[in-house]
Structure 1
Amino acid sequence: MKHLLLALLLLPRLLLAQTGTLRGTVRDEQRRPVPFASVVLPAARLGATADAEGIFEIAGVPAGPARLVASAVGYTTATQPVTVAAGAVLEINFMLAPAPAALTDVVVTGVSRATEVRRSPVPIATLGRREISLNANTNVIDAAVRGIPGLSAVTTGPNVSKPFIRGLGYNRVLTLYNGLRQEGQQWGDEHGVEVDGYDIERVEVVKGPASLLYGSDAVAGVVNLLPALPSGPEGQLQGDALAEYQSNNGLAGNSLGLNYQKNGFQTSFRASHRLARDYRNAVDGLVYNTGFQELTLTGMAGVSKPWGSSHWYLTLYDNRQEIPDGSRDSLSRRFTRQVLESGPDDIKNRPLVRDEELNSYAIAPLHQRIRHYRVFTKTQVRLGGGELHLLLGAQQNQREEFNHPTAPAQPGLALRLSTFTYDVRYHLPTWHGLETSVGSNGMGQLNRHQNATDFPIPNYNLLDAGGFLLLKKPFGKLEVSGGLRYDTRLVTWSDFYVAPDPATGFDGAGGPGTVGATLQFPAFRQRYQGVSASLGASFVATERLTLRANLARGYRAPNIPEIGSNGLDPGAHIVYLGNRSFQPEFSWQQDVGLLWHQTELDASVELFHNYVQNFIYQARLLNANSQPVVIVPGNTTYQFQQAAARLYGLEASLNWRPAALPWLAWNSSAAFVNGENAEPTVPEHLAEAARYLPLIPPLRARTELRATLPARAGRLTGTYFRASVDGSAPQNRFYALDNTETATAGYALLGLGAGTTFTSRAGRSVAQLIVQVDNVLDTAYQAHLNRLKYFEYYASSPTGHLGIYNPGRNVGVKVLVPF
């Protein structure tokens, strides 16, 4: 008993002795302090904010090796490996350069353990909060597209952007929120990502199927949206308030964030609200029904102790999003609105939209409402010399699309998707340099129609599970990694009947005995399975030059619309028809990269080739006379097809900061992808029209020149000026069969920006001001992946313009006040 009492008394001291303290300074190349820099240990989820003199301290750091990352607005991100001794204080000093350089960034997405970008054979790109904040964006995916070559987005208005990686999207791109897979009906064209963009600290993108951590739905890659870690001195409540305005659509955004940490306890909270009216361009004027209202609440609580860490997250997202249909008056080209149901409605004879409606922030009766609730926990435990990682999550997505003008409270589409996710990984202790990770992840889903009148997909149940083994071993300058993964997915649904509902006058879900009932979705049960594999290496040829290559086999099970759809999606204005006999997709992708890194210059070139078997895509349905089939008037009809596909291309970047002009930085990037139908299933005379795949972005390049004024004594710091040009080449390689797509003209957009940080006399940051002007010349253009380009009901126009154009000039002002 005496020994037990002694052990209990000493236990707190023993636990405390298993941790150490990191202390140091953050300075620039002139040895001047970098005030309020962020210093974090990503793997341990610990961090601190330096004071006005650039001094930081992080207590309670678990003993052992780790990577420490320092960052600040206007400077590079710097990384240092550290080994923390139990009970010791380790002094670490950072020196930050005033130019962006991403090749030394540490990433956690797509790799078993925290890894530098340039040492990963898997192509990975990152974007930090600094770059996200400097732009005027309406959603976080658009922000990532600006800064990451190879990432693009299919858009439906300014607030609906679906990520595409190297020409592949929808369920081929897995979107994560802090490691939890985002499940919110991502098969739909007008379904965006339900995440608060103000809350995102960092975006990490894995390109291609080489990461074996995720399985099906990551065959094109992964987009991981990472929220900020709590930072600041222990025992002090920290936070920030943000206000934003954008002139083009009158967007008003506000966000309040709070965080606190003490003795290993961490908590944070953020509330954000955005609203916008219809956007404007030089061709269409104000584009009817493109406004939105969005509210997001995010909370986190957790602990970080010597044994590991555990954090709980809760998010609530509510978005009312207008979706245009593009109907107009044929002569004036003014927008019109629907007032009758689809039967008696005459699309070409609707009433004009009034000016007060175009300028109103009120949400129109025809819109969609998306509510997304997410709760999950992430736990890391040091166990047996290794680390056990566990993620458990539950989320529910409720989507309603209101498309009945005579009954505005009656949703056409009403779906409730419930998803339960698990992810467990164990990183074994390193043995002779060999790093081994094993794990399993998967999900269960239930998708149910609620009070709906349109049923594009059936009620379904889905069970998904997979297991993986990852290995990594350094051999001097050469580092080799690879692994295997097996996935299985079971999809089932019962007979689903649709029948007239006398109470509403519309169709509704019915039973086999209901009067007038038709069997819209016969029962279905199918199991899909596949093996994925990856083998790659990175070679540090010199201190400046790194070479890497990777070969990967990816797998994706068909999604529900591809195998089961049979009805109208009212928000997309498309009738989808699936194919129950589809087989899984399998891809073989090869990646080769060359990365150059030095103080003045960062450069990279990435080449890829991807061959996809059983590639699934949409094509318009034609009748025997080669005319488009119309099942629901005013809506196009698409049927999914399956063939082989080939995609290849490259991404390149160049970041230069001349030594003679340390205040100047020039950053450029370019991305190209070509997608071809490798196995056309159409008659020979139509083969050329079907040669290319749909939704392939054109050659895109971006260049930016940024000048940051040298730090001087005064109330302004970090003052910068920037000019950028975003250019897209003409896209003449498009899916031309049945006029599904048309050629898109090239364009170049000029952007100008400036910003500064106001400081107090004590040197503390008081407020940050950012001004950004996009499309300065108010250029009229249509992006090839803009779905509104095809929202047109006439074969010709008196103005010579068809479809809806992208937003015109936009002036964005953003104020961030830390406290």
Structure 2
Amino acid sequence: MIKFTSFLLLCLFLVALKAYPQNQPTLFSIKGEVRDTQGNPLAAIISVHELNKTVLANLDGQFLVSDIKPGHYHLHITHMGFQSTAKSIVLEDGDAFIDLVLKESITQLQSLTVEANPFKNGPLEQSQTIDVIDRAFLEKNNGGTFANSLEKLPGISTINTGVGISKPVLRGMSFNRIMVNDRGIKQEGQQWGADHGLEIDPFDVDRVEVIKGPASLIYGSDGMAGVINIAAAPLPKNNSINASLMSVYRTNNNMLSNSALVEGNENDLVFKGRFTMQDFSDYRVPAEEFTYAGFVLPVYNNRLKNTAGQERHFSLMGGVRKNWGYSTVTVSQFNQVAGIFAGAVGVPRAYNLRHDGSHSNIELPRQENSHLKVIWNNNIQVGKDWLEFDLGYQKNNRNELSFPHTQSVGENEFENLALGLSLDVLTANARYNKKLNDKNQSIIGFQFQHMQNNQTGFEFLLPNFTSVQGGFFYFQEYRHTDNFILNAGFRLDGAQHDILEHLQPIYRRLRPTGEFEQRNPDINRSFFNYSASTGFSWITNEYINLKFNLGTAFRIPTPIELSTNGIHHGNFRHEMGNPDLDSERSFQGDLNFTYAKNKFLFSISPFYSYYQGYIYLAPSGRFSQLPGSSMIWEYRQNNAIFTGGEIKTQYSPIRRLSLSLAGEYVYNLNLDTQLPLPLTPPASALFGIAYDIPKIGSHLRNLYVFFETRVTATQDRVDRNERITEGYTLLEAGLGWQLNLGRQPLMLQVSGQNLTNAFYFNHLSRYRLLNLPEQGRNISFSLKIPIAVRKPQN
């Protein structure tokens, strides 16, 4: 395995070396002017995608991008209050001049580039439904975790464990059915568990692209239901140094977050560093008691004991940007210690729920998580085309600690370590993007992943295993006309899971007996599968975009689904794997219609999916003999359907006033049992109104105020033994502004969530099983201080 990885690294290095110029070619420039429809110049932002280089047009609307090699490039032009536009450029034998006209619009069809899209064009050209959000959106909707910040996008919800741990749900699917890519590398942790959150610093995300629908062709097996791409931030402008400080305080659990950033570019040598601290106390709920297993138990001072936490994260990036492309290395680490409510591990009692004098201490049980990532991103020009390759290493450690006696285990070598999981992952991706002619461009891609998991602790849930996966794909885009784009592709994948036998010691009266129980046998499974998709995007005119995508995707069963056998406290049940599971196969169709004209935007995205051999957990009807557990739940396969859709509208009756509506609905059905599948998010709608004022006096700028109401329906379509969850309504409001103190801007925001302190249950929340409501009223305060240490040069 090590020899193969070394060989792969050597091959990529030789390809990259070949891309560097032996004889420096003639360099050219891209010049242009940006104006509005009235002929007035615009100081727009012009980005050259392949070089990750950005310049700003001057007050006369003129811009210059110099020292560019011959080749194919994509330019993206944006300006506040105007429709963004994209332009393809071919530099062959001289400078290029572009005359650009931007149309003013309050609402617009998205035309920003999609960073993770291999063809480097925008959502308009793609046949799938794609939402793109930036740092401003994430800061405005900071929910304490990265996943919670995405909930206002239609089609996305979260599975929560308290307020510090959450994972995204896309069109009713989560865990290993949606993929999260961080800077081109698939995020690999313990994403199979409801109580295992995404280990990503919410402050270290600058741009997110949410691809809805089957994406296995480009991204691999786990992209079956969609992909969440965290794109790398744009590289700093030449000869610039910037810094920023951001603080957020949330009243519900006294969460205090501080994040500091510094980045710069010194003669095309780029660097970036960020450090984040988050500390939070036990969170408040609008309840004084709850009922669990027939017991009425107290919630002292409306605070859920032992839900405090502490986080420390950092990331460092360094690299080079030249006219042949760029190469960067990013090292990041996520560290979290979070208390686990006593009722989540064993049966809670009044004595261990009693307040102990501090709401910020972290007791047992608790979880300690760390996630180290080293990512090497490269984009290198080969002739006139471009080669991208990414290499990544991840080290994920998860430790669950609890008192051994609660699990009927006496003296043991692990002390309080109930479950320890250590996952090492090597990832390599390569993509060669070639422009065949004015109408055709293609991409050939390769992906490889090696995973090794090791477990320890006095409990058992998941055995040691090694997993190797690899895939090859070909994808082509055909531009029949400027407003009708077709795409199609095919992918082959192979995988092998080598899962080791596990023998668990048997204890009697808290003492080891010297005997062992086989919790799982040796399992060695190989899989081979394919994906295919085709679709089109038809831009009928400047106001209407119609998309359709049809594909078949697959998902390889995970080692967890094949071999787990133990109490999963995150789900309050004994879970048992099935070594005979086969790959899932899906057939999916997605349609998207968007209309946007001046003051009005309307978008609807229906979908339909048929799943062959859908893998899920179901109650077996047998009770577990393990202490602290109840019924055994086992992995099964049945055919199923998923259908539903999202709707999004925005209307501006007067300038600066915006009304919005975003809605979502998911319907699924197990075709064998004729019952709904578990953990299906209920239908919901988000109504919003916002008003902004660009300037008040000489010190106050960019003032905005917003009100939002989320209405969630009752979820009564539930699986066997799954509880019905009543609907609810939540109110949120906030305002933000920029205050200029001399030349120093300060960005401030005050917002409130659950303003009515509503008592409600989140159907996807892990604590829903304990009859514990979600957190109550929360007021957030945020302050951001951007600091221009050295102003950029074009």
Tell me whether the two structures share a fold, i.e. TM-score over 0.5.
yes
> Which residue number corresponds to residue 522 of structure 1?
521
Question: Kindly tell me: are residues 166 and 409 of structure 1, through their superposed partners in 2, closer, same or farther at Cα, counting changes over 3 Å?
Answer: same
Higher strand share: 2
Q: Secondary structure at the match of 2:332?
A: strand
Question: Kindly tell me: are residues 24 and 401 of structure 1, through their superposed partners in 2, closer, same or farther at Cα, counting changes over 3 Å?
Answer: farther
How far 1:629 sits from its partner (Å)? 4.2
Question: Kindly tell me: are residues 26 and 237 of structure 1, through their superposed partners in 2, closer, same or farther at Cα, counting changes over 3 Å?
Answer: farther
Matched, 1:18 2:27: yes
- Offset from partner CA, 1:451-483 (integer Å, 9 cap, x none): x11121110010001110101101113211011
> Which residue number corresponds to residue 700 of structure 1?
684
Structure 2 unaligned blocks of 5 or more: 1-19, 289-301, 406-410, 788-794
Q: Secondary structure at the match of 2:312?
A: strand
- Offset from partner CA, 1:488-527 (integer Å, 9 cap, x none): 110012322222699x9787xxxxxx93123222111010
- Offset from partner CA, 1:515-550 (integer Å, 9 cap, x none): 312322211101012111101111122221121111
After superposing the two structures, state which structure 1 stretch, 254-263 or 92-101, moved more: 92-101
How far 1:386 sits from its partner (Å)? 1.8
How far 1:83 sits from its partner (Å)? 3.3
Matched, 1:288 2:297: no
Looking at structure 2, the residues matched to 53 and 734 of structure 1 have their Cα atoms a distance apart, in angstroms, of 61
- Offset from partner CA, 1:419-446 (integer Å, 9 cap, x none): 0001111112323511111111020010
After superposing the two structures, state which structure 1 stretch, 13-22 or 638-647, moved more: 13-22
Counterpart of 1:743 (choices 713, 721, 724) is: 724
How far 1:92 sits from its partner (Å)? 7.5
**Matched residue type, 1:292:** G
Question: Kindly tell me: are residues 32 and 472 of structure 1, through their superposed partners in 2, closer, same or farther at Cα, counting changes over 3 Å?
Answer: closer
Matched, 1:810 2:794: no
TM-score when normalising by structure 2: 0.88
**Matched residue type, 2:286:** A
Counterpart of 2:52 (choices 35, 45, 50) is: 45
After superposing the two structures, state which structure 1 stretch, 552-561 or 80-89, moved more: 80-89
Question: Kindly tell me: are residues 96 and 539 of structure 1, through their superposed partners in 2, closer, same or farther at Cα, counting changes over 3 Å?
Answer: closer
Whether the aligned pair in 1 keeps the contact of 2:335 and 2:371 (CA below 8 Å) is: yes
Q: Secondary structure at the match of 2:463?
A: coil
TM-score when normalising by structure 1: 0.85
**Matched residue type, 2:265:** Q
Looking at structure 1, the residues matched to 107 and 186 of structure 2 have their Cα atoms a distance apart, in angstroms, of 29
Matched, 1:354 2:362: no
Question: Kindly tell me: are residues 283 and 32 of structure 1, through their superposed partners in 2, closer, same or farther at Cα, counting changes over 3 Å?
Answer: farther
Question: Kindly tell me: are residues 102 and 564 of structure 1, through their superposed partners in 2, closer, same or farther at Cα, counting changes over 3 Å?
Answer: farther
Question: Kindly tell me: are residues 28 and 645 of structure 1, through their superposed partners in 2, closer, same or farther at Cα, counting changes over 3 Å?
Answer: same
Number of equivalences = 746
> Which residue number corresponds to residue 735 of structure 2?
754
Q: Secondary structure at the match of 2:466?
A: strand
How far 1:416 sits from its partner (Å)? 0.7
How far 1:222 sits from its partner (Å)? 0.6
**Matched residue type, 1:744:** T
**Matched residue type, 1:430:** L
- Offset from partner CA, 1:539-589 (integer Å, 9 cap, x none): 122221121111110100111221100112345443210111111100000
Q: Secondary structure at the match of 1:171?
A: helix
Counterpart of 1:631 (choices 615, 626, 647) is: 626
User: 1:684-723 counterparts in 2 under 5 A?
Assistant: 691-711=675-695, 714-723=698-707
Matched, 1:176 2:181: yes
> Which residue number corresponds to residue 279 of structure 1?
283
> Which residue number corresponds to residue 146 of structure 2?
140
How far 1:599 sits from its partner (Å)? 2.5
Identical pairs, percent: 25
How far 1:351 sits from its partner (Å)? 3.7
Question: Kindly tell me: are residues 770 and 51 of structure 1, through their superposed partners in 2, closer, same or farther at Cα, counting changes over 3 Å?
Answer: farther
Counterpart of 2:484 (choices 478, 481, 498) is: 478
Looking at structure 1, the residues matched to 754 and 262 of structure 2 have their Cα atoms a distance apart, in angstroms, of 34
After superposing the two structures, state which structure 1 stretch, 725-734 or 379-388, moved more: 379-388
Whether the aligned pair in 2 keeps the contact of 1:22 and 1:61 (CA below 8 Å) is: no
Structure 1 unaligned blocks of 5 or more: 1-10, 328-337, 508-513, 681-686, 792-802
Question: Kindly tell me: are residues 95 and 257 of structure 1, through their superposed partners in 2, closer, same or farther at Cα, counting changes over 3 Å?
Answer: farther
Q: Secondary structure at the match of 1:788?
A: helix
Question: Kindly tell me: are residues 648 and 720 of structure 1, through their superposed partners in 2, closer, same or farther at Cα, counting changes over 3 Å?
Answer: same
Looking at structure 2, the residues matched to 692 and 748 of structure 1 have their Cα atoms a distance apart, in angstroms, of 24
User: 1:595-606 counterparts in 2 under 5 A?
Assistant: 595-606=594-605
- Offset from partner CA, 1:771-792 (integer Å, 9 cap, x none): 111111111111111121102x
**Matched residue type, 1:496:** H
User: 1:366-445 counterparts in 2 under 5 A?
Assistant: 366-404=365-403, 410-445=416-451
Matched, 1:104 2:116: no
Counterpart of 1:462 (choices 467, 482, 506) is: 467
> Which residue number corresponds to residue 730 of structure 1?
714
How far 1:756 sits from its partner (Å)? 0.7
- Offset from partner CA, 1:375-426 (integer Å, 9 cap, x none): 0111112113321111111111011000226699621111110000011111
> Which residue number corresponds to residue 778 of structure 1?
757
> Which residue number corresponds to residue 676 of structure 1?
669
Matched, 1:649 2:656: no
> Which residue number corresponds to residue 323 of structure 1?
340
Indicate the RMSD between aligned Cα atoms, in angstroms.
3.1
> Which residue number corresponds to residue 235 of structure 1?
239
> Which residue number corresponds to residue 156 of structure 1?
161
Looking at structure 1, the residues matched to 39 and 399 of structure 2 have their Cα atoms a distance apart, in angstroms, of 56
Question: Kindly tell me: are residues 698 and 75 of structure 1, through their superposed partners in 2, closer, same or farther at Cα, counting changes over 3 Å?
Answer: farther
- Offset from partner CA, 1:21-49 (integer Å, 9 cap, x none): 66878999997988xx8654444222357
**Matched residue type, 2:120:** A
Whether the aligned pair in 1 keeps the contact of 2:574 and 2:629 (CA below 8 Å) is: no
Looking at structure 2, the residues matched to 55 and 291 of structure 1 have their Cα atoms a distance apart, in angstroms, of 53
Looking at structure 1, the residues matched to 785 and 661 of structure 2 have their Cα atoms a distance apart, in angstroms, of 31
Whether the aligned pair in 2 keeps the contact of 1:401 and 1:570 (CA below 8 Å) is: no
Question: Kindly tell me: are residues 630 and 747 of structure 1, through their superposed partners in 2, closer, same or farther at Cα, counting changes over 3 Å?
Answer: farther
How far 1:596 sits from its partner (Å)? 1.1
Matched, 1:787 2:792: no
Q: Secondary structure at the match of 2:137?
A: helix
Whether the aligned pair in 2 keeps the contact of 1:103 and 1:597 (CA below 8 Å) is: no
Looking at structure 1, the residues matched to 78 and 181 of structure 2 have their Cα atoms a distance apart, in angstroms, of 23
Whether the aligned pair in 2 keeps the contact of 1:703 and 1:724 (CA below 8 Å) is: yes
Matched, 1:663 2:653: no
How far 1:118 sits from its partner (Å)? 2.2
Looking at structure 2, the residues matched to 487 and 13 of structure 1 have their Cα atoms a distance apart, in angstroms, of 37
- Offset from partner CA, 1:274-330 (integer Å, 9 cap, x none): 111111121252122222211111111111212221111111111112222437xxx
Matched, 1:259 2:258: no
Whether the aligned pair in 2 keeps the contact of 1:753 and 1:771 (CA below 8 Å) is: yes
Looking at structure 1, the residues matched to 390 and 232 of structure 2 have their Cα atoms a distance apart, in angstroms, of 16
